[in-house]
């Protein structure tokens, strides 16, 4: 998916090809910019996916509240808060820029790894979305017996997603992630 996104951004930049041929160093600069733009597109999509999950979780919370399942509803509320925090981090995450005086410079390879990282995060969020969808269907059909198990699994998945997103900063800067 990152390759496809990168190609789309590149295809929209045809007017700049002439400049790339004339201005020394511009080509490498523009390729970095296209990678950053591709990363932004991927993360925007990622954020929208998680926003939908948050809305579905709020619907689940309301059903659990009206069904007097306070323990699970409270756990879902905490999960929604956790998801809100992750969405905010995604919206404010770095696009892979490094300042002129930064000790660690971000290379094209680092940006490519960042895109690969973002695609993995998309896959993880798809799995979260699948769980939320089935959870919501069960709750809407008043099947509450697995609600706490679904909530616990979802919470673990979000913790893992958050941890993976933490590692993204190291990926951007080309640091080894253990």
Whether the Cβ atoms of residue 26 and residue 20 lie closer than 8 Å to each other: yes
* Residue with the two structure tokens 């080309």: 174
Q: What pTM did the predictor assign?
A: 0.71
Whether residue 84 is predicted with pLDDT greater than 90 in this model: the reply is: yes
pLDDT confidence tier of residue 172, bands split at 50, 70 and 90: low
Q: What are the domain boundaries of the chain?
A: 2-172
Q: Phi and psi dihedrals of 33, rounded to 5?
A: -60, -40
Whether residue 4 is predicted with pLDDT greater than 90 in this model: the reply is: no
């Amino acid at each position: 998916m990152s390759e496809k996104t990168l190609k789309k951004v590149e295809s929209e930049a045809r007017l700049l090809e002439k400049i790339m041929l004339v201005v020394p160093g511009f080509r490498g600069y523009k390729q970095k910019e296209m990678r950053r733009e591709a990363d932004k597109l991927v993360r925007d999509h990622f954020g929208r996916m998680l926003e939908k999950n948050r809305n579905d979780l709020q619907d689940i919370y309301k059903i659990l509240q009206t069904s007097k399942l306070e323990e699970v509803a409270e756990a879902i509320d905490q999960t929604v808060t956790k998801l809100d925090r992750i969405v905010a981090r995604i919206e404010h995450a770095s696009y892979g820029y490094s300042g002129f005086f930064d000790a660690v410079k971000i290379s094209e390879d680092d940006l490519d790894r960042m895109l690969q990282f973002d695609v993995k995060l998309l896959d993880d969020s798809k799995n979260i979305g699948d769980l939320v969808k089935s959870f919501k269907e069960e709750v809407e059909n008043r099947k509450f017996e697995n609600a706490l198990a679904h909530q616990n699994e979802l919470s673990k998945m979000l913790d893992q997603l958050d941890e993976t997103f933490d590692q993204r900063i190291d990926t951007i800067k080309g640091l080894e992630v253990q």
